[in-house]
Amino acid sequence: MLKRTKMLWTGILATFLFLSGASLSWAQPSGGGVMPFGGELRGIMQFTGKVVCVDCSISEVHQAQPELENLYLLKHVGNEKQQAVVTVSTVSEPMRWDAVVFPHQLLVRTTDALFNKLTAEDNLYKTVQVAGLLRNDRIMDVEAVTFPE
């Protein structure tokens, strides 16, 4: 009798563990989602464009230059007073870009020196390539700003 009771409880425990493990696996993100420590399993995002103005808004650019398209507002994280409007011509992952960067506003987390390089007066209207990690919360950790001319 003791053996049957032990087998019954072992079966109940095994069933419980199996079902709880299955429900935990259903709650996990699939594919290249978020890692347990908050990072993301995505590669570097790169976009090419031109900085058209500094310390202005998209609506101001639309009024002054209505022919410009694909305008995005870049705000420097940590110094919200610094911002720039860029016209973006190419993106390495267009579908992800369109899904994350809506409504055409992106927070840029980088060093002051790199953001100043991006927004320098001498670099206005020059083709610029920006590379970094684009997060799902519309923050881009910019690692490189280059002018390929």
Q: What angle do CA 23, 25, 29 make, to 5 degrees?
A: 125
What residue spans define the domains of the chain? 1-30, 45-146
pLDDT at 20: 53
Bond preceding residue 66 cis, omega within 30 of 0: no
Q: What is the mean pLDDT of residues 125-142?
A: 95
Across 3-7, 46-50, 88-92, 140-144, least confident range:
3-7
pLDDT at 42: 65
pTM for the model stands at 0.71
Q: Which pLDDT band, with edges at 50, 70 and 90, does 30 fall under?
A: very low
Q: Is 129 exposed, middle or buried (0-12, 13-18, 19+ CB in 10 A)?
A: middle
pLDDT tens-place string over residues 70-122: 999 999 998 768 999 999 999 999 999 999 998 899 999 999 999 999 999 99
